Amino acid sequence: MLPLAARSQDGLRSRPVFDGGVVPKDRIVETLVKGGYLKDYGITMFHSVRMDVDEAELQRISDLVQEDARNAVSKEMEISHGLLSFALLALTPGPDGNRLLGFQSKPSDDGTSTSVILVYLEGETSLTDLKKSIPTNFKLSTKHL
Amino acid sequence: MTQDYWKELTDKYFEGETSPEEERALRGFLARTDDPAFDEARAVLGYFSAQRKRRAARAGARRLSGLLAAAAALAIAAVLGHALFSREPDTCVMYAYGEETTDTQYVLDDVNNTLTMLFGDSQGPDVAAQLNELFN
């Protein structure tokens, strides 16, 4: 498997999560989309990792995202029992536009693990734009390519 | 050389029988003399001389415009080449537990789901869980 993280993610504290440094890649669902596919959302890059984690892994990811939040231009975060459950961060813009980081964690029904998703976005869009457009926007489809 | 010599040479010129050396010599003479007897020859030779200069200038201009066109073509090719090759190709891929998927619609569905989860109506913490936390 190729390393998919972009150079623009180099400065992120949470980059190891994308690189399999916290949870091994064979336990991750990783999605990378770049270019024209995302133009309807004003995004040029979408990079996500989704995984089920144990308590220690959740703590590590939560800490890394909170470290990124310290340098964020704007942020929305929810912390429960010292652990991050939700975050939307607007990071300092890069040469390719705005850089956004999203995080969500949800405990599994049986309470034995937690499902985590971490997303890095890049493009002209902003957190506000995405919140406005996504609930009503049509879904991305190959028909729009 | 006498005037007769130049008159003879002029006649020879009009008959098209002068050598390049003789023509050059005649042109030099015509440039020096004010004798009206040679006005016609001066006018003709001057005309052809001016034509030659114009042709040379036009050829120079053509060469220059050719060079400029070539340079412009090179510049355009360089810009297009840079635009084509520096642009990152579109990517649409998913690795699920080590298995690669390049089914575009499948990957885009995953993108939609993720964005909707984070930014859509269901975004944010679980309200029920928060209430439970507050009151229990």
pLDDT digits (tens, 9 = 90+) for B81-131: 655 555 567 889 999 988 899 999 999 989 988 888 888 754 444 444 544
Among chain A residues, the shortest Cα distance to B131 is held by A80
Beta-carbon separation of B90 and A85 below 8 A: no
Q: Which range has the worst mean pLDDT, A37-41, A92-96, A136-140, B122-126?
A: B122-126
pLDDT at B10 over 90: no
Question: Which strands sit side by side in the sheet containing B91-96, from one edge to the other?
Answer: A74-80, A83-94, A97-107, A114-123, A43-53, A28-34, B91-96, B99-101
- The domain ranges of chain A are 54-135
Going by C-alpha positions, the residue among B51, B49, B54 that lies closest to residue B28 is B49
Is the minimum CB–CB distance between B132 and chain A shorter than 8 Å?
no
**B93 vs A contacts (CB less than 8 Å):** 4, 31-33
State how far residue B134 is from chain A, nearest Cα, in angstroms: 11
Chain segment A86-124, per-residue pLDDT in tens: 999 999 998 889 999 999 999 988 888 899 999 999 999
What is the pLDDT at residue B42? 79
Distances in Å between the Cα of A90 and the Cα atoms of A85, A101, A130, B53 are: 17, 7, 12, 70
Using a CB–CB cutoff of 8 Å, tell me whether A108 touches chain B: no
User: Is residue A144 over pLDDT 50?
Assistant: no
Residue in chain B nearest A138 by alpha carbon: B112
Q: What is the mean pLDDT of chain B?
A: 77
Find the mean pLDDT for residues B69-78: 78
